[in-house]
Chain A
Amino acid sequence: GESVGLHLPTLSVQEGDNSIINCAYSNSASDYFIWYKQESGKGPQFIIDIRSNMDKRQGQRVTVLLNKTVKHLSLQIAATQPGDSAVYFCAENYGGSQGNLIFGKGTKLSVKP
């Protein structure tokens, strides 16, 4: 959307700390959400997804929280490691299986050793 032309916000964290990356999604009808990780020079990779009938889902060192009331999605990374340095994108879907994904603007996570 319109945000593709903007520079990415940056989050800098110390190795070992927890990271929280936030995303405000656009459509109240969205009912499926994904977080992607994009390392430098590579394509985005799926991290974790969540459906709107849930408000929390956990993976390995990652947790996604969904607040439908305020249309907010967050990704929590526990014990952040240097390998977590990347750009993180949220994506929403509201068209069912035939709908496309709408990507957020992304957040660049930098991990300081």
Chain B
Amino acid sequence: SQTIHQWPATLVQPVGSPLSLECTVEGTSNPNLYWYRQAAGRGLQLLFYSVGIGQISSEVPQNLSASRPQDRQFILSSKKLLLSDSGFYLCAWSVQVRDYGYTFGSGTRLTVV
């Protein structure tokens, strides 16, 4: 069966520090991968998605970047975090979006202090 792993679960980082969040998927090949951000009590904001290795589409201009170095690995990064980068970050995957849509990871709660 397919599983998605996202870590760390929580992270507290000072302003100006770098960020690296990792997401890996097991049990499937060539998935579409997504990074979402969710502010407290708010909706889901699509940040990046990828349809293949090295292919990244950015939805929102921001202080973040994404990379896909391997088929089932998706990384969210920042060189210098801002206070506004705080939030709940979710990774998701899909193969056939019309078969149950996306499967989400458990999320990373990032607090920038």
Contact = CB atoms under 8 A, between A and B. Distances in A.
Contacts of B46: 100, 103
How big is chain B's contact interface, by range?
Answer: 20 to 34
5 contacts: A5-B42, A32-B97, A36-B101, A49-B101, A89-B43
A45 B49 CA distance: 19
Interface residues of A, number: 31
Contact of A43 (B45, B98, B107): B107
Interface residues of A, dominant DSSP: mixed
B97 A97 contact: yes
Contacts of B97: 32, 93, 97-101
Interface of A: 3-8, 32, 34, 36, 41-46, 49, 51, 89, 91, 93, 96-101, 103-106, 108
